[in-house]
Structure 1
Amino acid sequence: MNRGSRPDYEAYAGDLFGEMILADTASAAPAPPGARPLSRFVPGMSIAAIAGAAAAWLSQNYGVPVILAGLLIGLAVNFAAADPRTHDGLDAVSRHGLRAGIVLLGFQVTAMQVAAMGLVPFAGLALVMSAALLAALLAARAIGQSPAIGLLGGGATAICGASAALALYGVIGRERVDQARFTLTLVILAAASAIALIAYPPLTRMLGFDDAQAGFLVGASIHDVAQAIGAGFAVSDAAGAQATVVKLTRVALLAPLVTLAALWIARVEPLPASVGRARVPVLPGFILAFLGLVALNSLLPLPPALAGHALTLSKTLLLLAVTATAMRTRTDLLLGLGWRAVMPVLAATIASLAVALAYAEWVIR
């Protein structure tokens, strides 16, 4: 950005990690460390909170998936991010909100739940997740996209949708996947999960699945946690209980997947030397905190109300993070991505459904 020119908003757009800071005016002197007021976060956080509240209202009153509503509203009002006063708040919500939301998911999982699922469903879950990852990587390669794109789409589909995508993006980095592609991945994930919520319960009835088969199918193949569990209870209470255990087992596997993803992507798609060392360690701090909460939840009898409040807070933080991320995304870049950007998530979704169907039909009884 040249002195005397207007701030280069396009260069700043889509910086999820908030590492680029533009001066509000050409003559503004850099503030000394520690002198920046906390009030700088208010404009961006306020705008994200208003957009998130609108998304929650749409979800509550019209049944729109809340993450999808947050993405669409964020994209619709992203003109607000042209004002540099919103940058600090939006970036703080995008980065720290998503990490806190993922950490709080640890209250929903215990080691006993994973163990109680049994070896047969766990083996099937591993097959479904592997199929989703492999399909996304193959689709990305077939259409000439990078392995990082396939890893993002496949890993998010294999684990828990937007939450996993946000965690994976932390180790993949914007140097490998730009913000527009990342946001489009979130949109596709939310849309696919919403379609699955509507279509999968009738599919299980049409195929004559019992509660165990139906619970495994929806828990193993629907991306979003709330929608996977909701689809299970749409079949029956027993199917809902099975879907909950299967889905939360997938959530528990978020930490090892992110760790393996960090190791793998560093080998197959190393960053240039000019980028320097990776911004996120092999096992990020928020993943360690997630594992710590899982351990705490497994060892101590925590009040059920605490898990409920933690889930509500987690969903709120993730909604705000997704909305803020969408607001910082240039829609012109989204439009320029084309149909190829859809293929990794689409391939992973189809593969996970096909493998889950086959396993439920022939193995789960």
Structure 2
Amino acid sequence: MPRLRGILGRADALWPGLLVCGLAALAAQFLSDHYGAPAMLMALLLGLSLHFLVEDGDRCAAGIGLAARTVLRIGVALLGARISFELFTELGLPVVGLVIGALAATMGFGWLAARMLGRGWRLAILTAGAVSICGASAAMAIAAVLPKNELSERNLSFTVFGVTLLSTVAMVLYPVIATLLGLSDLQSGVFLGGTIHDVAQVVGAGFSVSDAVGETATTLKLIRVSMLAPFVLILTLALRGAGAQDQSGAKRPPILPGFVIAFLILALINSLGWIPAPAQALLWALSKWAMLTAIAAVGMKTDLRRILSVPPQSVVLIFLETLFIAGVVLAGVMVLL
């Protein structure tokens, strides 16, 4: 009985915050469906406007914290249900090599550019990882394993805002660039899928050109998403090897975080064809809603005044990383395809 009372007490402490995060996610999706605004961006902005809910020990604070941590990890893990090893064979080794090479090159460029601009290594990893892998989803997964400091939440909110905004701009501009350059359907699909940050914007850009371009772009984007789990694993091992310390005093994440294991297991099961299409669609929808809920929670935990205090060099950094990966992929498309 005492254990049951403990569970009920915990649920009573968590449900207000989880409810308000879920409602923010619903509102963000409504705005996206009716006005074409990016759902992730809307969730973040709505969350920022509700920051007062975590101040002064508000009753919602515990649930918001859970949404920003646990719900986030659930959303990232469920992304694995969309990944299949067949994706790598559909487009061939040169294209897969281009994706991996662009990721590695962007990470290197981000680290170098951050040093030149006087930005920290945490921001370099966070922004370059988000730009080169899968936008806001990657930013939140990477932030989950980066050692925390006093700027961690501000940098995460800034990165999500930046990559979502740049991804929306790219959704409009990149198809025009592909057309002006006379790229073939395959080249256009690889260019769009290999450069635009978020999945939704890749789909929008690709299918705005043609069905063939949209299918290729979406496939390539999912290959980039599949890089998330290996990248987080390598990053975790590298941080441990370097002895990076968490300034918040929190316990370090395990060598192989649980959400990464779940991501890989779901990807393996899907590759074996054991996840039927209806279940795959359900898991993808759950992942999307978990990510929207989590990003709303991240916004609620972030003081808007701190976002506005982000140095101009940080804005320049994420913009340069976006231009860099676009240039690398476009060059690779022109040479290899």
Question: If the length of structure 2 is used for normalisation, what is the TM-score?
Answer: 0.93
Tell me the equivalent position of 2:329: 356
Structure 2, unaligned stretches of length 5 or more? none
Is the 1:148–1:269 contact (alpha carbons within 8 Å) kept by the matching residues of 2? no
2:173 pairs, out of 180, 199, 217, with 199
Structure 1 residues 73 and 302: alpha-carbon distance in aligned structure 2, compared to 1, 3 A threshold: same
Letter in 2 for 1:203: I
What secondary structure does 1:85 align onto? coil
1:141 pairs, out of 115, 131, 147, with 115
Tell me the equivalent position of 1:130: 104
Structure 1 residues 125 and 274: alpha-carbon distance in aligned structure 2, compared to 1, 3 A threshold: closer
Distance 2:28 2:162 in 1: 17
1:336 maps onto 2:309 in alignment:
yes
Distance 2:189 2:281 in 1: 21
Tell me the equivalent position of 1:284: 257
Distance 1:148 1:170 in 2: 12
After TM superposition, the structure 1 = structure 2 runs for residues 222-241 of structure 1, keeping only pairs within 5 Å, are 222-241=196-215
What secondary structure does 1:329 align onto? coil
Is the 1:140–1:343 contact (alpha carbons within 8 Å) kept by the matching residues of 2? no
Distance 1:80 1:248 in 2: 36
Is the 2:149–2:248 contact (alpha carbons within 8 Å) kept by the matching residues of 1? no
Distance 1:52 1:85 in 2: 19
Letter in 2 for 1:206: L
Report the CA distance between 1:172 and its aligned residue. 0.4
1:184 pairs, out of 148, 153, 158, with 158
Structure with the bigger percentage of helix: 2
Distance 2:248 2:110 in 1: 29
Is the 1:181–1:341 contact (alpha carbons within 8 Å) kept by the matching residues of 2? no
1:88 maps onto 2:62 in alignment:
yes
Tell me the equivalent position of 2:222: 248
Is the 2:53–2:61 contact (alpha carbons within 8 Å) kept by the matching residues of 1? no
Is the 2:147–2:245 contact (alpha carbons within 8 Å) kept by the matching residues of 1? no
Higher alpha-carbon Rg: 1
1:170 maps onto 2:147 in alignment:
no
Distance 2:316 2:148 in 1: 20
2:275 pairs, out of 302, 321, 324, with 302
Distance 1:279 1:243 in 2: 37
Letter in 1 for 2:317: P
1:312 maps onto 2:285 in alignment:
yes
1:220 maps onto 2:156 in alignment:
no
Report the CA distance between 1:84 and its aligned residue. 2.1
Is the 1:41–1:86 contact (alpha carbons within 8 Å) kept by the matching residues of 2? yes
Is the 2:148–2:247 contact (alpha carbons within 8 Å) kept by the matching residues of 1? no
Tell me the equivalent position of 2:72: 98
Distance 1:221 1:240 in 2: 14
After superposition, the C-alpha distances for 1:176-218 in whole angstroms (9 at most, x for unaligned) are 7521111111110111111111111111111111110000001
Distance 2:314 2:200 in 1: 25
RMSD: 2.0
Structure 1 residues 203 and 44: alpha-carbon distance in aligned structure 2, compared to 1, 3 A threshold: same
Letter in 2 for 1:87: A
Structure 1 residues 246 and 273: alpha-carbon distance in aligned structure 2, compared to 1, 3 A threshold: closer
Distance 1:343 1:263 in 2: 29
Distance 1:288 1:42 in 2: 27
Question: If the length of structure 1 is used for normalisation, what is the TM-score?
Answer: 0.86
Tell me the equivalent position of 1:121: 95
Tell me the equivalent position of 1:156: 130
Is the 1:71–1:323 contact (alpha carbons within 8 Å) kept by the matching residues of 2? yes
Letter in 2 for 1:352: I
Distance 1:149 1:91 in 2: 22
Structure 1, unaligned stretches of length 5 or more? 1-31
Is the 2:122–2:146 contact (alpha carbons within 8 Å) kept by the matching residues of 1? yes
Distance 2:151 2:67 in 1: 20
Distance 1:175 1:33 in 2: 32
Report the CA distance between 1:117 and its aligned residue. 2.0
Structure 1 residues 78 and 302: alpha-carbon distance in aligned structure 2, compared to 1, 3 A threshold: same
Report the CA distance between 1:260 and its aligned residue. 1.3
Report the CA distance between 1:112 and its aligned residue. 1.3
What secondary structure does 1:314 align onto? helix
Is the 2:145–2:232 contact (alpha carbons within 8 Å) kept by the matching residues of 1? yes
